[in-house]
Amino acid sequence: MTDYKEFIFKNLYRLDGYRAYFPQNNLTFNNPGFEEAQLKVLIVRLSPFPNIRESITHHFLFQEARRALPDAYIDYAFFPNPKNIPLFIDNNIPFFLGIQSLRSISDFDLVLVSNSFNLELFNLPYLFLNSGIAAFKKERLKARAPVIVMGGSNALMAQCAISPEGDSFVDALFFGEGEGAVGKIVSIINEKKDCPK
């Protein structure tokens, strides 16, 4: 497990939108320590934070997950602001980085991806490109990787996440905002997380 706190704090002055990473250990997240958490859940938005600042989808997923598992560590990750992409690439920083934990998606047990519109799906491969996680589900099954579940208002149009052979960028889809389903998903993953794949 790698956390990127040192890099982020040393380079805050270079980061466009650095406020997304503050405050650290935000009490409103009500998270336990990362290592002590029963389950680690990362909620991913496929757009930069300024583009979805007014959106409530990730907050809704957060509340569903928190209700289902009060002892989970829940974090958000956003696609990096365009000005930050060269800095992240040059320093091997994962594009999708938890804003509280400053850890990569590979350190989480469950990744909930919110897909709001078709163009965002082009950012989905970046979840894997520099994260060390295989892009396709069949490859991820061979390794210890987080379960990746995608939903959102565009989930019904997410066919491009599924290959003609039946493999997929995601392990499962839920349609809409996951009302009632996300809590069940979190509970199931928590129960099964230590089982061999």
3-state per-residue secondary structure call for the chain: CCECHHHHHHCHHHCCCHHHHCCCCCHHHCCCCCCCCCCEEEEEECCCHHHHCCCCHHHHHHHHHHHHCCCCEEEEEECCCHHHHHHHHHCCCCCCECCCCCEEHHHCCEEEEECCCHHHHHHCCHHHHCCCCCCCHHHHCCCCCCEEEEEECCHHHHHHHECCCCCECCCEECCECCCCHHHHHHHHHHHHCCCCC
Task: Say what percent of the chain tops pLDDT 70.
Answer: 96
pLDDT on residue 39: 96
pLDDT on residue 177: 67
Domain over 39-192 is classified CATH 1.20.120.330: no
Question: What is the chain's mean pLDDT, rounded?
Answer: 88
Taking the CA of residue 85 as centre, how many other CA atoms within 13 Å lie in the half-sphere pointing to its CB? 9
Instruction: Name the pLDDT band for 173 (thresholds 50, 70, 90).
Output: confident
CA-based nearest residue to 93, from 84, 50, 101: 84
CA 144/CA 12 separation, integer angstroms: 32
pLDDT on residue 87: 95
How do residues 51-93 score in pLDDT, each as one tens digit? 887 788 888 999 999 999 999 999 999 999 999 999 999 999 9
* 40-54 average pLDDT score: 90
Residue 158 has pLDDT above 90, yes or no: no
Q: Where are the domains of the chain?
A: 39-192
Residue 35 has pLDDT above 70, yes or no: yes
CA-based nearest residue to 17, from 99, 90, 127: 99
pLDDT on residue 33: 94
Task: Say what percent of the chain tops pLDDT 90.
Answer: 47
Instruction: Name the pLDDT band for 196 (thresholds 50, 70, 90).
Output: low
* 164-181 average pLDDT score: 81
Who has greater pLDDT, 3 or 41?
41
Rg (CA), the chain: 16
